[in-house]
Amino acid sequence: MQSQKKVEDLLKQYPLCDSCLGRQFSSEHRSLDYASKGRDLRQQAELTNTAEQQQQQKPCYICGSLLSNLDRYVELVVNAIKGYEFSSIIIGAKIPISITEKEDHLRAEMKLRGGETVKTNFTGELNRIVSRRLGVEAKHHVPDITVVIDTLIDHAEVTPRPLYVYGRYVKTQRGIPQKRRRCPECRGEGCPKCNLTGYSTSDSVEQRLSEPLLNLFKAGKVKFTWLGGEDTDSLVLGRGRPFYAEVSEPMVRKPSNLESVMQTVNGAIALKEISILEGVPSSDRGFTVTFESNAALDQPVAEDVVKKLETAFTGAAVTMTPPGRSSLTKKIHKLTVESVEGDDKKRLRLRVECDGGLSIRRFLTGENSEVKPNVAEVLERKVVLDESAPFDILDVGFET
Ligand SMILES: [Zn+2]
Ligand SMILES: [Zn+2]
């Protein structure tokens, strides 16, 4: 048999473990794993005593002891992933290049066609053993956790896949900014003062939502994507403002008490909705905003002039040109003049439903002509927002 001769030649020159031997002849005995195949081939081979002794005493020429020490690496992985919640896993490995080179060299010299490499053999075995032992699926496509073993330093690096949540919050007290500020000490670099987060721990919507989410998922980081923003002194009412949060390095993926976080965040900032998404949120996030303005005019206007606002804007499109960016078109779905107050008719309250992302402030004041047309322009008056309560978000329309 041709392959038996080849096995004998190979074993005379190189000490090999069963797996590394079996793998070189992978096109035959397909049904067997490499180690069993290697064992069979070794038994059939007729070796001299010296060759057999060399086989028994020396470590494997290709892998050293990588494949005969699988149990040790299995333990390394199992210990590293303790405490993580997951239903699928993939294990990869960094192995010294010299190991790969030895296999290439041996295959070239002995004219072996070869098949799988020592690395895929090693990780394949680990995935098979670990997944069976823990009763989880081993899969390459979006596994819950990825483990990479560095065999040189005997270390297993665990990376859980981030998860995404969707929620809505309301804000019933003025004076709380939406976003966390950068740490004034280190300007976002991370320092002892900010606990290496790079963020100031002063009050904000983001801060109040972050901590409970971090605790719930035992996560490393949480990053928010807001559907629009409000002023520090604006309220957010109705169903609340939607947001997505990317939760990085979560140890918990399916908290049994997900909704308990709504009891935790239930003050001036209250979480009204929370759910875990199946995948990455879609980037198509069209939404509408209904707001009420609280502004003053520099000179009185006649009521019929104010009423013109309703016909001018309801159903109209405005152009928004943020500095240094290209123009966007936003639709004003409905504008209602709620009241023009005061003896001098200088207080103006509007209720507007518009596309999300419109700069409400600039739409009202016409500041820097960034939004055209705008309320100030149509009224031919200066519009000054009451900075202690400039506008409130009454509702945000959005379907997930
Ligand atoms: Zn080996
Ligand atoms: Zn800092």
Neighbours of 74 (CB within 10 A): 16
List, as ranges, residues with CB under 5 A of the ion ligand 2.
183, 185-186, 191, 193-194
Q: Residue 201 CA: which ligand is closest?
A: 2
Q: What is the mean pLDDT of residues 166-195?
A: 93
Q: What is the mean pLDDT of residues 290-304?
A: 91
Ligand 2 centroid – CA 122 distance (Å): 43
In the chain, the amino acid numbered 203 is: D
Ligand 2 centroid – CA 248 distance (Å): 20
Helices (H) and strands (E) in the chain, counts: 12, 16
Ligand 2 centroid – CA 207 distance (Å): 15
The mean pLDDT of the chain is: 92
Q: DSSP string covering 171-207, please?
A: E-STT--SSPPBPTTTTTS--GGGTTSSB--S--HHH
Q: Which CATH class is domain 288-397?
A: alpha beta
- pLDDT tens digit sequence for 300-325: 888 888 899 999 999 999 999 999 99
- pLDDT tens digit sequence for 19-46: 999 999 876 655 678 999 899 988 888 8
Q: Residue 185 CA: which ligand is closest?
A: 2
Residue 5 pLDDT grade (very low, low, confident, very high; cuts 50, 70, 90): confident
Ligand 2 centroid – CA 16 distance (Å): 55
Q: Tell me whether the omega of the peptide bond preceding residue 255 falls within 30 degrees of 0, making it cis.
A: no
CATH 3.30.70.2510 placement within the chain? 163-276
Neighbours of 242 (CB within 10 A): 23
List CB contacts of 176: < 8 A, sequence separation 6 or more.
Answer: 203, 204, 205, 208, 232, 268, 269
Q: Is 3.30.70.2510 the CATH classification of the domain at 163-276?
A: yes
243 burial (CB, 10 Å; 0-12 / 13-18 / 19+) is buried
- Range 341-365 burial, b when 16+ CB lie within 10 A, else e: eeeebbebebebbbbbbbbbbbbbb
Q: Residue 69 CA: which ligand is closest?
A: 1
Ligand 2 centroid – CA 201 distance (Å): 10
Q: How far is CA 259 from CA 23, 101, 125, in A?
A: 52, 54, 40
List CB contacts of 142: < 8 A, sequence separation 6 or more.
Answer: 88, 161
Ligand 2 centroid – CA 182 distance (Å): 8
- Reading the block at residue 365, the tokens are 């004041």
The pLDDT score that the predictor gives to residue 339 is 81
Ligand 2 centroid – CA 58 distance (Å): 55
Question: What would you measure as the largest C-alpha separation in the chain, in angstroms?
Answer: 114
Ligand 2 centroid – CA 264 distance (Å): 26
- Tell me the C-alpha distance between 375 and 365, whole Å: 7
Q: Residue 102 CA: which ligand is closest?
A: 1
Quote the pTM value.
0.86
- For residue 370, what is the DSSP state? -
Ligand 1 centroid – CA 157 distance (Å): 24
Q: Residue 182 CA: which ligand is closest?
A: 2
- Reading the block at residue 79, the tokens are 């210990």
Statement: residue 2 has pLDDT above 70: no
Ligand 1 centroid – CA 131 distance (Å): 22
Statement: residue 342 has pLDDT above 80: no
- The three-state secondary structure class of 81 is coil
Q: 145 forms bridges with which residues in the sheet?
A: 89, 160
Q: How far is CA 163 from CA 92, 96, 143, 244, in A?
A: 21, 33, 12, 10
> Sheet of 88-94: strands edge to edge?
137-138, 88-94, 145-150, 155-160
Whether residue 95 contacts residue 66, with contact meaning beta carbons closer than 8 Å, is answered with: yes
- Tell me the C-alpha distance between 234 and 172, whole Å: 9
Ligand 2 centroid – CA 299 distance (Å): 47
Q: Residue 63 CA: which ligand is closest?
A: 1
Rg of the chain over all Cα atoms, to the nearest angstrom:
33
- pLDDT tens digit sequence for 145-172: 999 999 999 999 999 999 999 999 999 9
Give the strand pairing for 145-150 and 88-94.
parallel
- Reading the block at residue 293, the tokens are 């303005």
Q: Residue 193 CA: which ligand is closest?
A: 2
Q: DSSP string covering 262-331, please?
A: HHHSBSSEEEEEEEE-SSSPPS----EEEEEE-EEESS---HHHHHHHHHHHTT-EEEE--TTS--EEEE
Whether residue 132 contacts residue 221, with contact meaning beta carbons closer than 8 Å, is answered with: no
**Superfamily of segment(s) 2-160:** THUMP superfamily (3.30.2300.10)
- Tell me the C-alpha distance between 133 and 127, whole Å: 10
- pLDDT tens digit sequence for 220-236: 999 999 999 999 999 99
CATH 3.30.2300.10 placement within the chain? 2-160
Ligand 1 centroid – CA 123 distance (Å): 13
Ligand 1 centroid – CA 39 distance (Å): 12
State residue 266 phi and psi, 5-degree precision.
-150, 65
Statement: residue 337 has pLDDT above 80: yes
Q: Residue 59 CA: which ligand is closest?
A: 1
CATH 3.30.70.3190 placement within the chain? 288-397
More confident residue, 221 or 341: 221
More confident residue, 286 or 341: 286
Ligand 1 centroid – CA 347 distance (Å): 84
